[in-house]
Amino acid sequence: MSFPFIPYQRNEISLNQVADKSVEFYEFMAERRSVRDFSNRNVPREVIERLILTAATAPSGAHKQPWTFCVVRNKDLKTAIKQAAEEEERLSYDGRMSAEWLADLAPLGTDWHKPFIEIAPWVIVVFRKAYELKNDGSRGQTYYSHESVGIAVGFLLAAIHNAGLVALTHTPSPMNFMRTILNRPENERPFVLIPVGYPSANATVPDIHRKPLDQVAYFYD
C-alpha cells in the first residue's frame, strides 16, 4: 500500500519576508514562560480542541501519530490527579531526588505542592503510545514515539502561547497513576501533564535567561 502523492503547494515569499517572519516568531516565542500561578478563569472547550488539533499536526514516525491528549476539566478527576501527583512528588522531594537535583531546583522555588492542577481550568495529560492497540486486540508498532510526542508537546506549548494563554510542563514522577485515574489502555504511557489557562493576576516567573546562540549552536559553514 502506498499513499498517493500530491503537489506540495505553498506560496513562495521573498527572502525579506522570510527574514521578517523569523524575527517576528523568535521574538514572540521568546516571550513564552512556564507559569505556575494560574487563574481559575474559564477557557472554552473549543479553544482547547483547536490547540490539540495544532499539536497533532506534528510529524511522527511512519505517521503513526502515537499520541493521546486527555483533557480534564472534571473537578473530581482534577482533585484525584492532584492528590496522586503530590503523593509522588512528596516522595521525590523528600528522598528520591539527588542532592544535586534539589540544589538545581532550589532557585526555582518548586516543591511537592501542585495547587495549579486544581486551579487551572484545563489539565491536558499527554500519553505516548508505546505501540498501537488494534480493535481486534492485536498490536502494531509505533516508531520514535518519544521524539514524536515531544515534538507534538512543543507544538502544543507554542499554540497555547499564541492563544494568549499559559501552561506549565509538569512531570510528576513516576506518573503511571495517570493511566489508572484516566482509565487508559495498556499501550498508553503518560508523558507529561500540562495545566492550561490564564495566569493569575499576581503571577510571577523567575528572572532567568536563555543561552545565547553561540552556546547552543555550532555552524559548520
Quick check: 174 and 88 in contact, CB under 8 A?
yes
Residue 110 CB, nearest approach to ligand IYR (Å): 4
Q: Which of 18, 103, 105, 205 binds ligand IYR (CB under 6 A)?
A: 105
* Interface with ligand IYR in residues 6-65 (CB under 6 A): none
Give the type of residue at 187. Answer: N
Nearest residue relative to ligand IYR (C-beta): 110
110 makes contact with ligand IYR (CB under 6 A): yes
| Part in contact with ligand IYR (CB under 6 A); list of ranges 52-60, 64-72, 148-156, 164-172 | 164-172
Task: Report the distance separating Cα 179 and Cα 185, nearest Å.
Answer: 7
Q: Which is nearer to ligand IYR, 57 or 171 (CB)?
A: 171
Angle formed at CA 165 by CA 157 and CA 52, multiple of 5 degrees: 45
82 makes contact with ligand IYR (CB under 6 A): no
| Part in contact with ligand IYR (CB under 6 A); list of ranges 65-73, 133-141, 152-160, 166-174 | 166-174
Residue 24 CB, nearest approach to ligand IYR (Å): 28
Q: Which of 36, 128, 129, 170 binds ligand IYR (CB under 6 A)?
A: 170
CA distances from 69 to 51, 55, 102 (A): 11, 9, 30
Q: Which is nearer to ligand IYR, 53 or 105 (CB)?
A: 105
Q: Give the containing element (helix H, strand E) for 117.
A: helix 116-119
Give the list of residues 6+ apart from residue 107 with CB closer than 8 angstroms, or none: 206
Q: Beta strands 122-129 and 131-133: pairing type?
A: unpaired
Q: Which of 40, 42, 171, 180 binds ligand IYR (CB under 6 A)?
A: 171
Residue 18, phi-psi category: left (phi > 0), alpha (psi -120 to 50), beta (remainder): alpha
| Part in contact with ligand IYR (CB under 6 A); list of ranges 42-50, 53-61, 170-178, 201-209 | 170-178
HEC secondary structure over 58-77: CCCHHHCCCEEEEEECCHHH
74 makes contact with ligand IYR (CB under 6 A): no
Cell 472554552 locates to 44
- Which residues make up the interface to ligand IYR (CB under 6 A)? 89, 105, 110, 170-173
